[in-house]
Structure 1
Amino acid sequence: MTKVLEVNDLHVSFQTYGGTVKAVRGVTFDLRKGETLAIVGESGCGKSVTSQSIMRLIPEPPGSIDSGSILFKGKDLTKLKEKDLRKIRGADISMIFQDPMTALNPTLTIGDQIMEGIMQHESMSKSEAKKKALEMMNLVGIPSPESRLKQYPHQFSGGMRQRIVIAMALVCEPEVLIADEPTTALDVTIQAQILDLFRDIQEKTGVSIILITHDLGVVAQVADRVAVMYAGKVVEAGSRREIFYQPQHPYTKGLLRSIPRLDIEGEELIPIAGSPPDLFSPPQGCPFSARCEHAMEVCDRVYPYTSALSKEHHVDCWLQDSRALAAASMK
């Protein structure tokens, strides 16, 4: 399958009064045409920073992309000038932000905000832009779009605002859509509708989606592949089935144990003990070792190499080392 985006060994840091926060530390993944890649992990693991780095929305300073590459259509986005990035943002790569209310301008009508992207990137008249905006509102399921076009964000419900933000992101028919926690502020009924909308839009447009979330229930419904992040690193990646049914990293297993299951009666939720490491001074070895019940001496000292368990399934864990596997089989 064709790769539309490649992130290679990405490092992002922030300069603060307390020192340098190493927020993203060597993240590598790719996105293929027409698929949904979910990036999951606890708050503060670097998911949103990674997604904003792709769009080059990290404020510089205090943030900086220290090394690595982000390849889109053969161009390294980390090397482009701001004027060239503006041609890509919204047109080729779009983003849905976490809170639809803060993503919308309360002083402009919904129509003006949807048409702004069209007028910026495509040579259309205002009447043509309005027609396309109405088509997009129909696509995302906004009733009576003609009258709704003239209304303001405060006149829409939370679910409707999220649909408008999705319409704004898709109006220029991008190849890549980054959705940063798109269902966090919504109740479960509206959340299900938004997820159905993502599936419908992907079938109709073929857009590739990067879904940033901590909700594994959402991941199970829409993702094709999953990347699990911890302390600024991708510690495990694989197909949805491999991550949910054959997890190998202790952190991935801990995430799965901490969510409720309806298929097992009376099962207790087991939280992951401890706290994430301090990214002012990240650990030299595996960042999860302090919280891992299987940690060995080597885990604290050396970061594990990446073990390929299948074509899609990769994990960074010393438990996959042949010596650890041999010791486990002797018990």
Structure 2
Amino acid sequence: MGKILEVKGLHVSFTTFGGEVQAVRGVSFDLYKGETLAIVGESGCGKSVTAKSIMGLIPNPPGKITDGKILFKGSNLAALKDKDLRKIRGADISMIFQDPMTALNPTLTIGTQLVEGIIQHQKISRSEAQKKALEMMRLVGIPSTESRLKQYPHQFSGGMRQRIVIALALVCEPEVMIADEPTTALDVTIQAQILDLFRDIQKKTGVSIILITHDLGVVAQVADRIAVMYAGKVVETGTRRDIFYKPQHPYTKGLLNSVPRLDLENAELIPIAGSPPDLFAPPPGCPFVARCQYAMEVCDKVYPLKTKYGKEHHVNCWLQDERAKQMLASQR
């Protein structure tokens, strides 16, 4: 599989009355054709800001991409003007937002919103655009498409609204789709249906998906690779099997220990103690140092280098350094 999107050293900051919030600090990852990459981490770690940076949706002011590149089809999206980004946004790269009710315009019919998106990016007639809208509604599992096309968002259930938002994201046949917490507002049964829909659509269209979530249950079902974010940085990346069965970063292990286990008798949830660092003045070393039971003196002063743990498994943690391994071995 070839790379379709590359994010290199992305930095995003927000200017506030209290100072500069360094929301994303040197994030790098690749997305391959036809795969699902999940970006996971607790609230406030920079997942959604990273996604909106790719789409060019960071409001300036107060936000700004201060450094880094977002490479797509030979273009650096971080350096493009808004008029050039509009040609890509929705057509080549689309996004599913967290709340389907606020993502849809309550004053316009579903048909109008779907058709206008198609006409905006593709030079086809309104009747052809309407046919395409009906096809997309059928693809995402909306029944009685002709009558539904004339209805308003409030006439749909939560699950149906989410399907419409997915249809809006896919109607122009994008190569990359970003899904920001697409199942958060849905009950468990509807969540399962939406995840099945993602798998089915990806199989039919070959779209590459970036899934933004904090729900590791969702990640376990759909992700091919996982990037774990903490305090604006990617601290570990790997395949689904790497992250779930061979986690190396203490934060990744903490996330997994915080997930309820129904397969183990008398299993206890082990929360991660402490709070994330202040991103007005982030620590120079590992951002997890104040909450890590394995922290060493170097962790507080120098950010750890990336260590290759497997073919696609990388981790930024001083525990992976050979000197740390020797020290820990001598203490046993």
Pick the TM interval, shorter chain: over 0.9
In structure 1, C-alpha distance between the alignment counterparts of 2:252 and 2:320, rounded to whole Å:
14
Deviation per CA, 1:62-120: give whole Å up to 9, x if none.
00000000000010001111111110000000000000000000000000011111000
In structure 2, C-alpha distance between the alignment counterparts of 1:324 and 1:212, rounded to whole Å:
33
In structure 1, what residue type is equivalent to 2:329?
S
Is 1:286 aligned with 2:286? yes
Identity, in percent, stands at 79
Deviation per CA, 1:249-275: give whole Å up to 9, x if none.
000000000000121111000000000
Q: In structure 1, what is the equivalent of residue 184 of structure 2? A: 184
In structure 1, C-alpha distance between the alignment counterparts of 2:31 and 2:111, rounded to whole Å:
31
In structure 2, what residue type is equivalent to 1:314?
H
SS of the equivalent of 2:24 reads: strand
Is 1:318 aligned with 2:318? yes
Is 1:175 aligned with 2:175? yes
In structure 2, what residue type is equivalent to 1:179?
A
SS of the equivalent of 1:234 reads: strand
Q: In structure 2, what is the equivalent of residue 166 of structure 1? A: 166
In structure 2, C-alpha distance between the alignment counterparts of 1:34 and 1:80, rounded to whole Å:
25
Q: Give the CA deviation at 1:187.
A: 0.2
Deviation per CA, 1:13-72: give whole Å up to 9, x if none.
000000000000000000000000000000000000000000010001100000000000
In structure 2, what residue type is equivalent to 1:209?
I
Q: Give the CA deviation at 1:311.
A: 1.9
In structure 2, C-alpha distance between the alignment counterparts of 1:274 and 1:142, rounded to whole Å:
45
Deviation per CA, 1:266-309: give whole Å up to 9, x if none.
10000000000000000011100000000011111111111011
Is 1:196 aligned with 2:196? yes
Deviation per CA, 1:197-232: give whole Å up to 9, x if none.
000000000000000000000000000000000000
Q: In structure 1, what is the equivalent of residue 213 of structure 2? A: 213
In structure 2, C-alpha distance between the alignment counterparts of 1:71 and 1:178, rounded to whole Å:
15
In structure 2, what residue type is equivalent to 1:27?
V
In structure 2, what residue type is equivalent to 1:82?
D
Q: In structure 2, what is the equivalent of residue 31 of structure 1? A: 31
SS of the equivalent of 1:271 reads: coil
In structure 2, C-alpha distance between the alignment counterparts of 1:123 and 1:74, rounded to whole Å:
24
SS of the equivalent of 1:95 reads: strand
Q: In structure 1, what is the equivalent of residue 238 of structure 2? A: 238
Q: Give the CA deviation at 1:310.
A: 1.3
Q: In structure 2, what is the equivalent of residue 72 of structure 1? A: 72
In structure 1, what residue type is equivalent to 2:259?
I
Q: Give the CA deviation at 1:326.
A: 1.2
Q: Give the CA deviation at 1:328.
A: 2.1
Q: Mind listing any 5+ residue stretches in structure 2 that lack a counterpart?
A: none
Matched ranges for 1:112-151 at <5 A? 112-151=112-151
* 4+ aligned runs moved over 4 Å, structure 1: none
Matched ranges for 1:44-123 at <5 A? 44-123=44-123
SS of the equivalent of 1:210 reads: strand
In structure 2, C-alpha distance between the alignment counterparts of 1:327 and 1:277, rounded to whole Å:
27
SS of the equivalent of 1:286 reads: coil
Q: In structure 2, what is the equivalent of residue 296 of structure 1? A: 296
In structure 1, what residue type is equivalent to 2:45?
C
SS of the equivalent of 1:53 reads: helix
In structure 1, C-alpha distance between the alignment counterparts of 2:67 and 2:299, rounded to whole Å:
25
Count how many residue pairs are aligned between Structure 1 and Structure 2: 331
In structure 2, what residue type is equivalent to 1:170?
L
In structure 2, C-alpha distance between the alignment counterparts of 1:66 and 1:312, rounded to whole Å:
28
In structure 2, C-alpha distance between the alignment counterparts of 1:298 and 1:111, rounded to whole Å:
58
Q: Give the CA deviation at 1:329.
A: 2.3
Matched ranges for 1:4-19 at <5 A? 4-19=4-19
In structure 2, C-alpha distance between the alignment counterparts of 1:47 and 1:149, rounded to whole Å:
33
Matched ranges for 1:244-263 at <5 A? 244-263=244-263
Q: Give the CA deviation at 1:327.
A: 1.9
SS of the equivalent of 1:31 reads: strand
In structure 1, C-alpha distance between the alignment counterparts of 2:284 and 2:90, rounded to whole Å:
38
SS of the equivalent of 2:114 reads: helix
Q: Mind listing any 5+ residue stretches in structure 1 that lack a counterpart?
A: none
Deviation per CA, 1:105-139: give whole Å up to 9, x if none.
00000000111110000011111010000000000
SS of the equivalent of 1:190 reads: helix
SS of the equivalent of 1:310 reads: coil
